[in-house]
Amino acid sequence: MHRACPLSREAAATLERATEALGLSPRGHHRLLRVARAIADLAGAETLDEAAVAEAVGLRRRLTA
Protein backbone atom coordinates (compact mmCIF):
# COMPACT_ATOMS: atom_id res chain seq x y z
CA MET A 1 0.00 0.00 0.00
CA HIS A 2 2.83 2.39 0.77
CA ARG A 3 4.24 1.79 -2.71
CA ALA A 4 0.89 2.73 -4.28
CA CYS A 5 0.48 5.71 -1.94
CA PRO A 6 3.63 7.81 -1.90
CA LEU A 7 3.48 10.26 1.00
CA SER A 8 5.03 13.67 1.33
CA ARG A 9 7.21 14.10 4.41
CA GLU A 10 4.52 16.23 6.09
CA ALA A 11 1.80 13.71 5.25
CA ALA A 12 3.82 10.86 6.73
CA ALA A 13 4.35 12.82 9.94
CA THR A 14 0.63 13.66 10.15
CA LEU A 15 -0.30 10.03 9.57
CA GLU A 16 2.06 8.84 12.31
CA ARG A 17 0.79 11.44 14.79
CA ALA A 18 -2.83 10.51 14.04
CA THR A 19 -2.09 6.79 14.38
CA GLU A 20 -0.57 7.35 17.81
CA ALA A 21 -3.17 9.88 19.00
CA LEU A 22 -6.13 7.76 17.93
CA GLY A 23 -4.52 4.50 19.07
CA LEU A 24 -5.06 2.90 15.67
CA SER A 25 -4.25 -0.71 14.98
CA PRO A 26 -2.27 -1.57 11.84
CA ARG A 27 -5.60 -2.24 10.13
CA GLY A 28 -6.92 1.17 11.18
CA HIS A 29 -3.72 2.81 9.94
CA HIS A 30 -4.15 1.04 6.59
CA ARG A 31 -7.80 2.09 6.31
CA LEU A 32 -6.88 5.71 7.07
CA LEU A 33 -4.24 5.54 4.35
CA ARG A 34 -6.80 4.16 1.86
CA VAL A 35 -9.25 6.98 2.61
CA ALA A 36 -6.47 9.56 2.20
CA ARG A 37 -5.55 7.96 -1.14
CA ALA A 38 -9.17 8.26 -2.31
CA ILE A 39 -9.23 11.94 -1.30
CA ALA A 40 -5.98 12.58 -3.16
CA ASP A 41 -7.32 10.74 -6.23
CA LEU A 42 -10.40 12.96 -6.26
CA ALA A 43 -8.12 15.99 -6.13
CA GLY A 44 -6.02 14.59 -9.00
CA ALA A 45 -2.84 14.33 -6.90
CA GLU A 46 -0.26 11.60 -7.47
CA THR A 47 1.18 11.77 -3.96
CA LEU A 48 -0.62 12.04 -0.68
CA ASP A 49 -0.22 15.44 0.88
CA GLU A 50 -0.84 16.61 4.40
CA ALA A 51 -4.28 17.99 3.50
CA ALA A 52 -5.54 14.60 2.25
CA VAL A 53 -4.32 12.84 5.37
CA ALA A 54 -5.78 15.53 7.64
CA GLU A 55 -9.14 15.27 5.87
CA ALA A 56 -9.12 11.48 6.27
CA VAL A 57 -8.36 11.88 9.99
CA GLY A 58 -11.19 14.38 10.30
CA LEU A 59 -13.62 12.01 8.63
CA ARG A 60 -12.59 9.21 10.96
CA ARG A 61 -13.06 11.40 14.01
CA ARG A 62 -16.55 12.40 12.84
CA LEU A 63 -17.53 8.78 12.33
CA THR A 64 -16.29 7.64 15.73
CA ALA A 65 -17.70 10.59 17.69
C-alpha dihedral over 51, 12, 39, 63, to 10 degrees?
-90
Q: What's the rounded mean pLDDT across residues 17-21? A: 94
Percent of the chain past pLDDT 90, that is, above it, reads 75
Read off the pLDDT of residues 25-51 as tens digits, 9 standing for 90 and up: 999 999 999 999 999 999 999 889 999
Q: What's the CA gap between 53 and 65, in Å, rounded?
A: 18
Q: What pLDDT shows up at residue 2? A: 67
Q: What's the CA gap between 52 and 7, in Å, rounded?
A: 10
Q: What pLDDT shows up at residue 39? A: 95
CA 56 to chain centre: 5
Which of 21, 20, 16 lies closest to 33, judged by CA? 16
